Amino acid sequence: MVTILSNTQLNDIIWQMDLEAPRIARKGLAGQFVIVMVDDYGERIPLTLADMDPVGERITLVYQVSGKTSLQLSQVEAGEQLSHVVGPLGHPAEVQEYGTVVLLGGGCGVAPVHAQAKAFKDGGNEVISILGFRSSDLVFWEDKMETVSDELIICTDDGSRGFHGFTTQALESQIEQGREIDRVISIGPLIMMANTVKVTRPHYIPTIVSLNAIMVDGTGMCGSCRVSTTDGTKFSCVDGPDMNGFQIDFDELLSRNSRFHEQEAISLEHFKKECKCKQAVQEVEKCK
C-alpha cells in the first residue's frame, strides 16, 4: 500500500499525483518509471517518474486521463492509498555532457521531460525544452520547466500561445535557423516521437525516444512490451524505455499499442456504469 500525498488536476485531462514512496524516491533516476495498480482488480500501468524528492521521500507522477485506470486514478484522494506501486524500473536516461540538448515533450510527456531536463542541466548541458499542447489553457509546469531549461519554447496546436504548430515543427525551425544540436530527446505520443525521428535523421542528430509500449510486469518476464528494432527484438521495460529513435519500427509499435482498443472501451464503459463521479466521466469523454 502506498499513500497518496496529493492528487491535483493540472489541466482538463492531466493530473499530478504525489506519492509517499521512500525507496523509489531514493533510488529513482530520470527516465525510469513505476508500475501502479490502483486496487486489487486493477491493471498494472506504467507511469514515468516526473520528479523525485529523496529527502521528502516523495515521488511525483503526471498522468493523462485516457481510459479506465487513469480515470480511476484521478478519482482517488490525498490520504487514500494505491494497492501497489513498484519501481524504479527501466534504465535511467543516459546523461553525459553532450553540449546542446533539445527535449521535446508532448502533452503529459512534459512531465518526464522535466525529470530529464533537470538531469541534463545538472550534467552540464545547454538545455532547450520544446513543449507542445493543444491550446494555451492546457499549458502546465511552465514554471518548473523554466528552472531546468536554458530556453523554453511553448507550442500550441491552435496557435493560442507561443509557437503555432507541433513540437516537431518547432524543432525543425530551430535546425533551419542553424542551431547546433547535439542530442534530441522526444517524449510524448508515439506519432510525435516517430515524427521527431523524421526531422532529426537527415541531420544525423542522435535522437532518443521514450517508448510507451503496453506493459504488464515491467521487469522483462512477459514480452508484452517488445519492440522490433534494427538491432533485433528489445523489451521496452528492461532495455528501455529510452531507446535510439533511429532503430525503432514505429508502425509495428503503433499497431501493437492499439491491440486492446476493443477491451479498453469495454473496461471504461464497465467502470462508468459503476462510477459515481459524473464529472470525471465527462472529462474523459472530452478527451476521447
Partner 1 sequence: MPSKHPSRQEMPCQDPGERIGNFNEVALGFSENHARLEASRCLNCKNTPCIDGCPVGIDIRAFLTFVVEGEFKRALEIIKEKNTLPAITGRVCPQEMQCEAVCTLGKVKNGTPLAIGSVERFIADWNAMHDTGVVIETPPRTGIEIAVIGSGPAGLTAAGELARLGHEVTVFEAFHRAGGVLVYGIPEFRLPKDVLEREIEFLENLGVRIELDTVVGKTVEIQELLDDGFKAVFIGTGAGLPRFLGIPGEGLVGVYSANEFLTRTNLMKAYNFPEYDTPISVGRHVSVIGGGNVAMDSARTALRLGADTVTVFYRRTVKEMPARSAEIDHAIEEGIQFRFLRNPVALIGNEENRLVSMKLQEMTLGCLDASGRASCEPVEGKFEKVDTDMVIIAIGSDVNTICTSSTCNIETGRRGRIVAMDASQRTTMEGVFAAGDAVTGGATVISAMGDAKKAAKEIHEYITSGTSSNETSS
Ligand X SMILES: Cc1cc2nc3c(=O)[nH]c(=O)nc-3n(C[C@H](O)[C@H](O)[C@H](O)COP(=O)(O)OP(=O)(O)OC[C@H]3O[C@@H](n4cnc5c(N)ncnc54)[C@H](O)[C@@H]3O)c2cc1C
Judged by the rule CB under 6 A, the positions of this chain that interact with ligand X are: 33, 43, 45-48, 62-64, 66-70, 108, 111-112, 212-215, 241, 257-258, 261, 264, 268
| Interatomic CA distance for residues 235 and 237, integer angstroms | 6
Instruction: Restricting to residues 62-101, name those near partner 1 by CB under 8 A.
Output: 68-69, 83-89
Q: Which stretch binds ligand FES (CB under 6 A): 11-19, 135-143, 191-199, 221-229?
A: 221-229
DSSP 241: S
User: What are the φ and ψ backbone dihedral angles of 205, each rounded to 5 degrees?
Assistant: -90, 120
Which of residues 4, 76, 238, 280 is near partner 1 by CB under 8 A? 238
Q: Which residue number, 131 or 197, has a Cβ lying nearer to partner 1?
A: 197
Q: Which residue number, 195 or 212, has a Cβ lying nearer to ligand X?
A: 212
State the minimum distance, in angstroms, from the CB of residue 100 to partner 1. 32
Cis peptide before 54 (omega within 30 of 0): no
Q: Which residue number, 169 or 224, has a Cβ lying nearer to ligand FES?
A: 224
Residues 73, 74, 75, 79: what is their CA dihedral angle, to the nearest 10 degrees?
80
Beta bridge partners of 175: none
Report the run of H or E that residue 128 belongs to, with start and end: strand 126-133
Partner from ligand FES, partner 1, ligand X, none contacting 84, C-beta within 5 to 8 A by type: partner 1
Residue 42 binds partner 1 (CB under 8 A): yes
Q: Which residue number, 72 or 195, has a Cβ lying nearer to ligand X?
A: 72
| Interatomic CA distance for residues 26 and 11, integer angstroms | 29
Residue 217 binds ligand FES (CB under 6 A): yes
| Interatomic CA distance for residues 101 and 199, integer angstroms | 15
Site of grid cell 527535449: 103
Partner from partner 1, ligand X, ligand FES, none contacting 259, C-beta within 5 to 8 A by type: partner 1
| Interatomic CA distance for residues 33 and 197, integer angstroms | 23
State the minimum distance, in angstroms, from the CB of residue 213 to partner 1. 10
Residue 37 binds partner 1 (CB under 8 A): yes
Q: Which residue number, 222 or 277, has a Cβ lying nearer to ligand FES?
A: 222
Residue 222 binds ligand FES (CB under 6 A): yes
Name the residue type at position 273: K
Instruction: Restricting to residues 134-163, name those near partner 1 by CB under 8 A.
Output: none
Residue 133 grid coordinates: 499542447
Q: Which stretch binds ligand FES (CB under 6 A): 169-177, 184-192, 200-208, 219-227?
A: 219-227
H-state helical runs in the chain: 22-27, 68-75, 110-122, 142-148, 167-176, 190-200, 236-239, 250-257, 261-274, 278-287
Name the residue type at position 73: L
Instruction: Restricting to residues 223-252, name those near ligand FES by CB under 6 A.
Output: 223-225, 235, 237
Beta bridge partners of 132: 106, 155
Task: Return residues touching ligand FES (CB under 6 A).
Answer: 215-218, 220-225, 235, 237
